[in-house]
Amino acid sequence: MKNPNNFCEVTTWTVSNLVDAAQDNPAGKYRIKIPRFQRTLVWTKEKQKLLITSLKRGFPIGSLLLFEDPEKYDGNKRNFQLIDGLQRTEALKRYVIQPTEFFSREDIPPDVVESIQNLLYPYSLDEERIISTIVNWVHARPGFTETDEWGTYSLTRALIDVLAPDGQDNYYKSVYFDVTNNNALKTKLAQLLQEIRESSDISRAQLAIIIYSGPIADLPTVFELLNSQGTALSRYEIYASKWMGTSLTIANRAIRDAIWEKYDRMADEGYSLDVVEESPDEKSRQMHKYTLFEYLFGFGQLLCKDFPQLFRSVTEDQPSSAGFNLFSACVGLNVREMERLPDILKLDDIPSLEAAILESAKFVRDVFSSIFSVKPSRGRTSIYHTEYQIISMIATAFGVRYNYKDPQKELDNWRIQRKTLEQNLPMFYLSDILKDYWKGTGDNKLHDTVTKSRYLGAPPSVSNWTQVLESWFFDNQMLLQHNRRLVRDATPEVLLLKYIYVHKFTVAENSKKYHVEHVIPVDQLQRVISENERWPINSIANLALLNAEDNQRKGNKTFKEHWDSLFAAGQIDDVVYQTEIEAMSNQLICPINILPKGNKLTKDGFADFLKARFYELRSAFLTEWADRIPNG
């Protein structure tokens, strides 16, 4: 057995060595591949510049960790996996490709600027113009060779173009003759360019390299310990290394495609990825053996894409937590115990388990379809819940319907308990959101909710709802400041309106999009609110759902003021007036007798209106959902 003390080799490479090794076809004796569990490219350009500046100044930038599997030595090159240092390697590769991109005004010595200014006398060019001209000129050069037009003649022409921008008249010719024949200026510019080129050459800068060649089973621990600093890993990315020994094929092409979107992006950055070489085409990718991390990464992307009402979208290269958390909850694990997934899952059975989990997600989506179908005007799908809340519902439905060890067969009680879930889930959903039940991390709460089948128990009763709604309403009013005209769709106020209005629209109307409308218009309120006051103008008691046509028709008036003005002008008769007033009163759930009286709107009068209308909304909610709310 090899001595553990010999598992690590500490050495130094030059920047040139590292960048060459990270190419597709390195010329040297080293080859670095990006392992499939590595992080994506997240450093900003500014952070890359700071790294280059550190190297130029001779500062240390930390060590890079490579893993070498001695069994993969091909006789010509030592092959390494890059474990820690992806962001630094990317910055160095980018710099080598176009070093001038990282040049900044700080790279120009102040005394040089002053000298150039003096040598251009009697022509006037302030220091800022000289600095910006040099910086822009350097950025326009691909590199530091003559073929890149790197030289005093080209820089001199740039200065001339600033002194005489027209380039046609006699003045330009005079400037051109004087400057191009100024030998002292040319000497100073040549010195500057030589200094820039020399200071920019970091190819021979030394990098600390740690090469680990111990047991691959210990690599996850090494990886996790090293990343206690630097760019933090999520718990899911750490599992990428912990689960390196897992292996499965993926039948679902959508999941495979999500995985390869990430790898293709990294390949486009010029990295040599072992997984890309192993599976260059669709046929080989279909037969490829993936790790459990890769599978759950792709599964999470699939959830976000196919269930936008349930899960928030993520970029194609970031792991969505949804896939990891949902799988853990469905097999009875607390998400804190997620690392045990490979011990619990039968990887060969994952396709049937996947299908059962997706069916459970569809069930939950369908339970809420009528509520989510009421769409306010800004068309993006709004999400009101936390991820753990919706996962608790999907995992509960899964546990009631399937045994994760044999997910191809439905359990006997599913048909009965399905109806209970269909009745209860919307009630628990809204109540929990209004109470902030899922606020915080909720790992244990998720586990307890699923394992104890909370949603199969009695939903909130009438008295529960009365207390929840009143507490939520009165506790939140003064938080809604008067200067916010728009109401965001993803708020509890809009969600409660959807519950109240869910059957208020016809099927045809449900296909339209609705504005969240202020019953007392914002313009009216802002005219009477003093600068230092805060009125709850966005309280749910001042909100309703109204289609765009009706909203535009009434403008900045209350619905009663709108029809009053038409009636007073003789544009409608008494029958139409009464019909429209009644219809709009019903649509807005606002009897005309609770509207503020008279022309003078006061804060107390507005508060009285809000209380009265809140009770109308509460009554409408309890009536709408009476068949799902037990008495008591």
User: Dihedral of the CA atoms 25, 27, 28, 34 (nearest 10)?
Assistant: -20
Q: Are residues 173 and 313 in the same domain?
A: no
Burial class (CB in 10 A: 0-12, 13-18, 19+), 232: exposed
Degrees, nearest 5: CA angle 595-597-598: 140
Same domain (yes/no): 453, 323: yes
Peptide bond before residue 70 is cis, with ω within 30 degrees of 0: no
Instruction: Indicate whether 448 and 483 sit together in one domain.
Output: no
In this model, does residue 417 exceed pLDDT 50?
yes
Confidence of residue 581 (pLDDT cuts 50, 70, 90): confident
- The separation between the first and the last C-alpha atoms of the chain, rounded to the nearest angstrom, is 72
Residue where one domain finishes, among candidates 144, 174, 199: 199
327 and 396, same domain (yes or no): yes
Final residue before a domain boundary, out of 172, 199, 226: 199
Task: Give how many domains the chain has, as a whole number.
Answer: 3
Residue 343 lies in a domain: yes
Q: Do 489 and 392 belong together in one domain?
A: no
pLDDT mean across residues, the chain: 86
Specify whether 579 is located in the same domain as 486. yes
The model's pLDDT over 528-572, given as tens digits with 9 standing for 90+, comes to: 888 788 888 889 999 998 875 655 566 678 888 888 888 888 898
* Mean pLDDT in residue range 9-25: 92
Do 481 and 623 belong to one domain? yes
Note the pLDDT of residue 508: 46
Q: How confident is the model at residue 413, as a pLDDT? A: 93
* Together in a domain, 483 and 398: no
Whether pTM exceeds 0.85 = no
Pick from 58-72, 214-228, 381-395: least confident: 214-228
More confident residue, 44 or 303: 303
Judge if 381 and 501 occupy the same domain: no
**Burial bucket for residue 11 (CB in 10 Å: 0-12, 13-18, 19+):** exposed
Domain boundary (199, 218, 243) is at 199
Whether residue 451 is found in the same domain as residue 525: no
Range of the domain at 373: 292-458
- For residues 516 and 482, membership in a common domain is answered with yes
pLDDT tens across 360-381, in order?
A: 999 999 999 988 877 665 556 7
Q: What is the pLDDT of residues 297-342, one digit of tens each?
A: 999 999 999 999 999 987 766 778 999 999 999 999 999 889 899 9
State residue 553's pLDDT score: 62
Q: Do 601 and 449 form a contact (C-beta atoms < 8 A)?
A: no
Residue 543 forms part of a structural domain = yes
For residues 470-486, average pLDDT = 74
Instruction: Classify residue 483: in a domain, yes or no.
Output: yes
User: What pLDDT score does 524 carry?
Assistant: 86
Does the residue 206 lie in any domain?
Answer: no
Would you place residue 72 in the very low, low, confident or very high pLDDT band (cuts 50, 70, 90)?
low
pLDDT digits (tens, 9 = 90+) for 73-82: 666 888 888 8
Lowest mean pLDDT among 310-319, 329-338, 510-519, 605-614: 510-519
